[in-house]
Chains A and B, each alone.
Chain A
Amino acid sequence: MANAAGAHHDEHHDHYPSFFSRWFCSTNHKDIGTVYMFVAMFAAIIGGGMSWYIRLELAEPGIQFIQDKQFYNVLLTAHGFLMIFFVVMPGTIGGFGNWFVPMMIGAPDMAFPRMNNISLWLLVVALLMLLISAFVEGGVGTGWTVYPPLSNSIYHPSPAVDFGILSLHLAGASSILGAINFIVTIFNMRAPGMTLHKMPLFVWSILVTAFLLVLALPVLAGGLTMLLTDRNFGTHFFDPAGGGDPILWQHLFWFFGHPEVYIIILPAFGIISQIVSTFSKKPVFGYLGMAYAMAAIGVVGFVVWAHHMYAVGLDVDTRAYFTAATMVIAVPTGVKIFSWLATMWGGSIEFKTPMLYAFGFIFLFVVGGVTGVTLANSSADLVFHDTYFVVAHFHYVMAIAAIFAMFAGWYYWIGKMSGKQYSEIWGKIQFWIFFIGVNVLFFPQHFAGLAGMPRRIPDYPDAFAGWNYVSSIGALITAVGTLLFFVILIRTYASGAKAEQNPWGVGATTLEWQVPSPAPFHTFEDQPDMSGKAPAE
């Protein structure tokens, strides 16, 4: 296999375009992926900074820092938007997806390179619009769910909300274009012999995610447009005074919003599958089950949306259906977890930093997953809806888990992307600080939520002071871990050791490890041929 992919490529000198053409007008999937990752990191600094400011305010009862309560709502809204649309999605799909999907299937680039460029820059413009919205006349204080009537022109008259809506429109368009690009690439540009059932699981995860994006985002776009016309052109889609219904927005939003959760976590599943297999030096256990579990999660993900709406006054039979349907999701996610464990079982595990993060990911996902079983119950939701229990749940299962997968992916692939290897010892230290930090940060929020603390409040009854203080200490530790990551990143680029073609040994079997590090500007000299090979994983 070693000679299939231009092993002597490093002697060949690529001709790189000038700085501006290379980074701004790029049609190269690797350069676009790199820019996506830096956009994600930039947004992460802002979105993370907001969350630390929130935790600083919540460290003690009473209002200490954020005197303007609208600004508090703006912070928590922007934190949600930034982390979902501008950190995790560009990081996992735009960054790692762009970099490694074409490489893993033996394609020279994405199917539509120019469309790839427009996806990227639409996202950057969307990010700027979102940042503007936070500073225009009071900002968007609606929460990331933008529920009307709070988000309509009576209760949020400033153009900030219109900026926010347009930002989401652009981010949505960017994602739809990107998703189409991935679907076409994966269906049409696989190397000979790279059948669907031989594709690495990361490619599978991006394929399923792309379908979710294409099906879910237009529904959000429709809802956003209706909200925009309600605000500006006198329609009453969501206004009961004009015969509309605010709950209609919630149905449209969550029909998008629930698949969005899987859009965030499926690529993370893909990354973790690659890493677990590599560092166990074993192919993935139950490959087909893993691939089809992701497809099943994608399908079921479209018929459970109203479990976010148990409290709106849905008919009891409707809530019963959504309870039962939501329970079903635990089955394919269970298959994922047990298959990862079985992949490691009998393996010869190297605990390099990416593998530590994979272990951490599985831990977070299991803890957040079981609380998800609680929250699936419309009956239990009578005490848990809109409490910190929910905050703890989704940060464990989705948000921090996705961040862990991104760290795991970064450590795993940085040698391939930059040609420089990170420092193993500092990577491990960074993992432990971050792992301890997020657990101290989010685990106590389960207790605050059980005790009844509502979400999205800048001050709280004194009884919640204890766990909030602990949680804020966790945020501080997490901030140290994050800072250390950026130090490691800068050191890696500035003075990292030269990365080998394959630093991970026999476990790393996918095609990206058969080209030099950094991957050359044009990946493959000769098209790889996978005919007669076992599944890549």
Chain B
Amino acid sequence: MRNKLKMILSALAGVLISMGPAFAGPNGDVRSSDWQIWLQEPASPTADRIVAFNGQLMVIETLIVIFVMGLMAYIAYRYSAKNNPVPSKTTHHVGLEVAWTILPIFILVGITIPSLKHLYFADRTPDAEMTLKITGNQWYWNYAYPDQNNLTFDSIFVPDDELKPGQPRMLTVDNKVYLPVETNIRLLMTSADVIHNWAIPSLSVKLDTVPGRINETWTRIHEKYVGKTIYGMCSELCGVNHGFMPIAIEAVSKEDFAKWVKQAQAKFASDDPKANVIVRLASAKVTR
């Protein structure tokens, strides 16, 4: 009986999860697509778990809603004043009351146990192969690679009128952050001003950058995303241009990553990042 229920649940969850790949972004990019109704495709081991877990939750929750709606519809029909002119006098039923207190507890425990497993899995990695340090700024991101000679650069929003063909609106940045696939990456986050949040839906990474603190989490991008851009947006209200500090990750192979690091070191060494910021911010349409 239990097994049967489990089978039905996982089958239903399977249907929902299989909708995932249907919501791959345009051009194979990892971002949301028109009329999307489900989570973005999972691009990391954490995201694999979270997307599956969300599917299971959604099945349970949908069944609960259908159950209650069904009861309400039945009650509205069967116990309308027309169909049941004389109301009953029942006001207690100990068995029923105990049942609807105890049964939900089982469901909730069944949810909480896997949930906590995923939580601890997502928290941080014991064996990081490299580190990316992320600093939130009003209103751009600064990235540093401590293991790559402390390569540092800013990543700034590109406004609508400067987009090149094919670049997505609201998501494009001048300098993407390059990350190698199949690598355990430690993510360290802090902020230079207010609280921001570095959020990548398809990696299931979402962590505040808080001034005065360094928050840690991790990710590992799946191999199949080589050459793809993975998008995210700031997810904590950080002032006027909160909506205009997107995140774009270029997932590359380990070899290409090493090549990019060399080029980037040459490029950003000559660049005064602060001057760069001022120019870009001046050209961006900052209203206030």
A143-B237, A456-B237 known; A383+B119 contact, CB < 8 A: no
Residue of A69, A330, A339, A373 touching B288 (CB-CB under 8 A): A69
- Measured in the bound complex, the distance between the Cα atoms of B218 and A120 in whole Å is 51
Cβ-closest chain B residue relative to A277: B91
Chain A residues 245-287 with CB under 8 Å of chain B are 245-247, 280-287
Q: Is A363 an interface residue (CB 8 A)?
A: yes
A371 to B64 alpha-carbon distance, docked (Å): 11
Most buried by A among B86, B194, B244: B194
Judge whether A62 is part of the interface by a CB distance below 8 angstroms.
Answer: yes
CB distance from B170 to the nearest CB of A (A): 4
Whether A342 lies near B240 (C-beta < 8 A) is no
Knowing A377-B115, A450-B39, the reply to whether A461 touches B88 (Cβ < 8 A) is no
**Contact residues of A between 417 and 476, Cβ < 8 Å to B:** 447, 450-467
Residues on A with beta carbons closer than 8 Å to the beta carbon of B287: 67-70
Determine if A521 is an interface residue (Cβ-Cβ < 8 Å). no
Assess whether B2 is interfacial by the CB under 8 Å rule: no
Nearest Cβ on chain A to B228's Cβ, whole angstroms = 16
Q: Within the complex, what minimum Cβ distance (angstroms) separates A324 from chain B?
A: 6
A461 B86 Cβ-Cβ under 8 A:
no
Asked whether, in the complex, the Cβ of A447 is within 8 Å of the Cβ of B37, the reply is yes
The reply to whether B88 and A346 contact each other, CB–CB distance below 8 Å, is yes
Q: A133 an interface residue at 8 Å Cβ cutoff? A: no
A380 within 8 A of B: yes
In the bound assembly, the distance between CA atoms of A385 and B216 in angstroms comes to: 17
Any A CB within 8 A of the CB of B112:
yes
The count of chain A contact residues (Cβ–Cβ below 8 Å) is 95
Q: Which B residues are in CB contact (< 8 Å) with A459? A: 170, 243-244
Cα A454 to Cα B238 in complex, Å, equals 12
User: CB-defined interface of B187-216 with A at 8 Å, one 1/0 digit per residue?
Assistant: 001000111010101001111101111011
Are A382 and B205 in contact, CB atoms less than 8 angstroms apart? Answer: yes
Report the interface size for chain B: residues with CB under 8 A from the other chain. 103
Verify A73–B237 contact, CB threshold 8 A. yes
Query: In whole angstroms, what is the CA distance A284 to B39 when docked?
Result: 41
B169 touches A451 (CB 8 A): no
* B194 proximity list for chain A (CB < 8 A): 147, 149-150, 155
Could you tell me if A341 and B72 are in contact, using CB atoms closer than 8 angstroms? yes
A344 vs B72: C-alpha distance when bound (angstroms): 9
Q: Tell me if A218 counts as interface (CB < 8 A to partner B).
A: no
Q: Are A380 and B54 in contact (CB under 8 A)?
A: yes
Tell me, in angstroms, the Cα distance from A385 to B238 when the chains sit together.
15
CA distance A338 to B212 in the complex (A): 47
B255 touches A (CB below 8 Å): no
Task: Check: B1 CB closer than 8 A to any chain A CB.
Answer: no
Partner of A246, one of B62, B168, B212: B212
Q: Is the CB of B233 within 8 A of A454?
A: yes
Q: How far is the CB of B188 from chain A (nearest CB, A)?
A: 11
Tell me whether A320 and B84 are in contact (CB under 8 A): no
Whether A167 is near chain B, meaning CB under 8 Å from some CB there, is: no
B69 within 8 A of A: yes
B26, B62, B138, B208: the one contacting A311 at CB < 8 Å is: B208
Q: Within the assembled complex, what's the spacing in Å between the Cα atoms of A318 and B192?
A: 26
In the assembled complex, B166 has its CB within 8 A of some CB on chain A: no
Partner of B61, one of A281, A374, A452: A374
Q: Which residues of B contact A463 (CB under 8 A)?
A: 25-26, 31-34, 36
**A316: which of B112, B119, B233 is its contact (CB, 8 Å)?**
B119
Known: A285-B91, A452-B40. Is A334-B237 also a contact (CB below 8 A)?
no
B71 contacts A341, CB within 8 Å? yes
Contact with B along A342-386 (1 / 0, CB 8 A): 101111111100000001001100110011011001111111011
Q: How would residues 141 to 158 of chain A score, 1 for a CB under 8 Å from any chain B CB and 0 otherwise?
A: 111000101100011000
Would you call B101 an interface residue if the criterion is a C-beta within 8 Å of the partner chain's C-beta atoms?
yes
A338 to B99, CA, bound (A): 10
Given A454-B199, A460-B243, 4 further pairs, Cβ under 8 A: A246-B212, A313-B208, A327-B112, A338-B100
Question: Residues of B with Cβ closer than 8 Å to A?
Answer: 23, 25-26, 31-40, 46-47, 49-51, 53-54, 57-58, 60-62, 64-65, 68-69, 71-72, 75-76, 79-81, 84-93, 96-97, 100-101, 104-105, 108, 111-112, 115-116, 118-120, 122-124, 138, 160, 168-171, 189, 193-195, 197, 199, 201, 204-208, 210-213, 215-216, 231-244, 287-288
Can you report 7 A-B residue pairs in the complex whose CB atoms are below 8 A from each other? A141-B240, A330-B108, A335-B100, A341-B75, A349-B80, A379-B53, A385-B197
